[in-house]
A and B are shown apart, each in its own frame.
Chain A
Amino acid sequence: MKYFAVLFCSITFSFSVIASEEGHEKEDFNVSEMIMHHVKDAHEWHLWTLNDKHVSIYLPIILYTDEGLKVFSSSHFYHNEPSHEGENHYYKGTGPAEGYAMFHEKIYKLDDSGILHFEGGHVHGNIKPLDFSITKNVVSLFIGSFLVFIIMFTCARYYKKNGSVAPKGLSKFIEPLILFVQDEIAKTNINEKKYKKFVPFLLTIFFFIWINNLLGLIPIFPGSANLTGNITVTFFLAFLTLILILVNGNKNYWGHIFAPPGVPKALLPIMIPIEIVGIFTKPFALMIRLFANITAGHIIILALISIIFINKNAAWGALSVPMALFISILELLVAALQAYLFAMLSALFIGAAVEESHH
């Protein structure tokens, strides 16, 4: 039932989000711009547009500049008329944002003459202050993490209250998943004696990715952010796996890298660099896989819905809605599958790093 609710939401609300987007773009409907805008991070959380009036949550901007920490609302950018510099239009800040400008959701310091310099489609020559803003993805990160914590804490409280009994309610749904991660992901891939240490990490990564994937599929607030399809997030998760591999890699693991058994000495100058690169390609593949899968899912759904707006005819909904529905269902599967794959491959790589020698 829950899935159907999610699905229903994704179909009905995809319309509203994109319809509002059309109003946003006064000129011709630009599919790729619209999709990129949805897939990337933003400093506002756009809710809907009614009669050309945007309703958004303006998120706080936190800048670390040479003048110290600056905190202000992003409305100081969004509420202004865009300035134009050739093809590019950007928002100059007012009030506390004075002296800064936002171009494609990135914040730059204006130069002394108060403009941004462009070279092609990119800003060139303007200082980019360190941006620690609470962006749409950061809010989504908070919500997703809070949700994961609440779900798991509720489960834990159930066991605390009832002792180690057969689960009921939420625990009944969550417990098999936890056991699945513990037994099928951790225990089967990591040495029997050492797997226990990694179970909390694998569980957290599994549920974090899964819940955030599902949140991303809900087209309205608090969903719709492309958090797990953001390269930064997948980079960080893969980076943690890499750290775990490097910290826990045993003699056997490093031995296979710097002195691969059964390899002639003459080949070592070739083999060792390859093995060293191999250390990084594994988490790199993790990062790319999650990013590409989730982003691709968002892009496909948005593109299918866009068919209607490209053709400017609601009848195309007869084609695009069933297709988007199909992809949405597929994405529900992908959401779980990618969480499983990330956790499973992390466990596999960690397992290889802590594997005892067979010789």
Chain B
Amino acid sequence: MDLVTPDLGLLFWTGIVFCTLLFLLAKFAWKPILNAVNEREKSISEALELAEKTREEMKSLKAENDKVLRQAKAERDEILKDAKSTAASMIADAKKQSKEEAKKIVDSARESINAEKASAISDLRSQVASFSIEIAEKVVRGELSSSEKQEALANKLVDDINLN
């Protein structure tokens, strides 16, 4: 029966010892241990949060970088396009100009050729005329070499006049 009968002396000592232990542990063990552990837990979760935040930041930074890169690429494309079109227009212009120039040259050449031609023709004409006159002179000289012939010519001329 005394196995299940509480004993006053042991109760007294249990009370004192357990309460002292509770007080001492609460003050010198549980408080520092739990503080340290919970603080560590907090710092770990903070570190994780920071890592997450940094990752987000990195992500946005990367997105921004991508954006800037894309913009730069677009700008470059624009510039290239501009340059290309400018070059094309320049080439076209040059072509046009050179064409005009060539035409001008050809035209002026043609003109001078025409002029040369005209002068050559007039030259030829005057030469032909002088040749004709020379021939005519020679012919006339031949015709008028004897008095009979001169007479005949005079007659003839007189006849012509008459006819008129």
User: Do A and B actually bind?
Assistant: yes
Q: Is B3 an interface residue (CB 8 A)?
A: yes
B17 in contact with A148 (CB, 8 Å): no
Q: Which of A148, A159, A201 has the most CB of B within 10 A?
A: A159
CB distance from A142 to the nearest CB of B (A): 7
A40 in contact with B3 (CB, 8 Å): yes
User: Which residues of B have CB within 8 Å of A141?
Assistant: 10, 13-14, 17
User: Which residues of B have CB within 8 Å of A342?
Assistant: none
CB distance from B11 to the nearest CB of A (A): 5
Q: A40-B2, A160-B32, A164-B36 are in contact. Are A200 and B11 (CB under 8 A)?
A: no
Cα–Cα distance between A165 and B33 once the two chains are bound (Å): 11
Interface hits, B1-22 → A, CB 8 Å: 2-15, 17-18, 20-22
Q: Is A240 an interface residue (CB 8 A)?
A: yes
Question: 1/0 contact trace for B136-147 toward A, CB 8 Å?
Answer: 000000000000
Q: Is A94 an interface residue (CB 8 A)?
A: no
User: Which residues of B have CB within 8 Å of A168?
Assistant: none
Q: Is A41 an interface residue (CB 8 A)?
A: yes
Question: 1/0 contact trace for B9-52 toward A, CB 8 Å?
Answer: 11111110110111011101111111111011001000000000
CB distance from B114 to the nearest CB of A (A): 108
Of chain B, the residue at the smallest CB distance from A201 is: B22
A132 in contact with B25 (CB, 8 Å): no
Contact of B9 among A36, A135, A231 (CB under 8 A): A135
CB distance from A106 to the nearest CB of B (A): 7
**Among A74-82, A83-91, A150-158, A350-358, which stretch is in contact with chain B?**
A150-158
Cα–Cα distance between A270 and B8 once the two chains are bound (Å): 35
Contact of A236 among B15, B29, B37, B43 (CB under 8 A): B15
Cα–Cα distance between A40 and B2 once the two chains are bound (Å): 9
B3 in contact with A204 (CB, 8 Å): no
Q: Is A133 an interface residue (CB 8 A)?
A: yes
Q: Is A137 an interface residue (CB 8 A)?
A: yes
Contact of B28 among A137, A156, A171, A295 (CB under 8 A): A156
A204 in contact with B22 (CB, 8 Å): yes
User: Which residues of A have CB within 8 Å of B7?
Assistant: 41, 131, 230, 232
CB distance from B39 to the nearest CB of A (A): 4
Q: How many positions in chain B have a CB within 8 Å of any CB in the partner chain?
A: 35
B4 in contact with A231 (CB, 8 Å): yes
**Among A175-183, A216-224, A276-284, which stretch is in contact with chain B?**
A175-183
CB distance from A145 to the nearest CB of B (A): 5
B10 in contact with A135 (CB, 8 Å): yes
CB distance from A226 to the nearest CB of B (A): 10
A156 in contact with B26 (CB, 8 Å): no
A155 in contact with B22 (CB, 8 Å): no
A153 in contact with B36 (CB, 8 Å): no
Q: How many positions in chain A have a CB within 8 Å of any CB in the partner chain?
A: 51
Of chain A, the residue at the smallest CB distance from B36 is: A159
Q: Which of B2, B9, B18, B34 has the most CB of A within 10 A?
A: B9
A235 in contact with B24 (CB, 8 Å): no
Question: 1/0 contact trace for A325-356 toward B, CB 8 Å?
Answer: 00000000000000000000000000000000
User: Which residues of A have CB within 8 Å of B29?
Assistant: 149, 152-153, 155-156
B22 in contact with A132 (CB, 8 Å): no
CB distance from A84 to the nearest CB of B (A): 21
B2 in contact with A104 (CB, 8 Å): yes
User: Which residues of A have CB within 8 Å of B18?
Assistant: 145, 204, 208, 236-237, 240
User: Which residues of A have CB within 8 Å of B30?
Assistant: 152, 178, 199-200, 203-204
B32 in contact with A159 (CB, 8 Å): yes
B25 in contact with A149 (CB, 8 Å): yes
Q: Is A163 an interface residue (CB 8 A)?
A: yes
Q: A131-B7, A132-B13, A155-B29 are in contact. List 19 more A-B contacts (CB 8 A).
A: A62-B9, A132-B8, A145-B20, A148-B21, A152-B28, A152-B29, A152-B30, A156-B28, A156-B29, A159-B37, A178-B30, A200-B31, A203-B30, A204-B18, A204-B25, A231-B5, A232-B7, A235-B11, A295-B3
B residues apposed to A, CB below 8 Å:
2-15, 17-18, 20-22, 24-26, 28-37, 39-40, 43
Cβ contacts A to B, 6 pairs, < 8 Å? A36-B3, A148-B25, A152-B29, A166-B40, A237-B18, A295-B3
A residues apposed to B, CB below 8 Å:
36, 39-41, 62, 104, 106, 130-135, 137-138, 141-142, 145, 148-149, 152-153, 155-156, 159-160, 163-166, 171, 175, 178-179, 182, 199-201, 203-204, 208, 230-233, 235-237, 240, 291, 295
The 6 closest A-B pairs by CB, nearest first: A152-B29, A159-B36, A164-B40, A200-B26, A164-B36, A232-B10
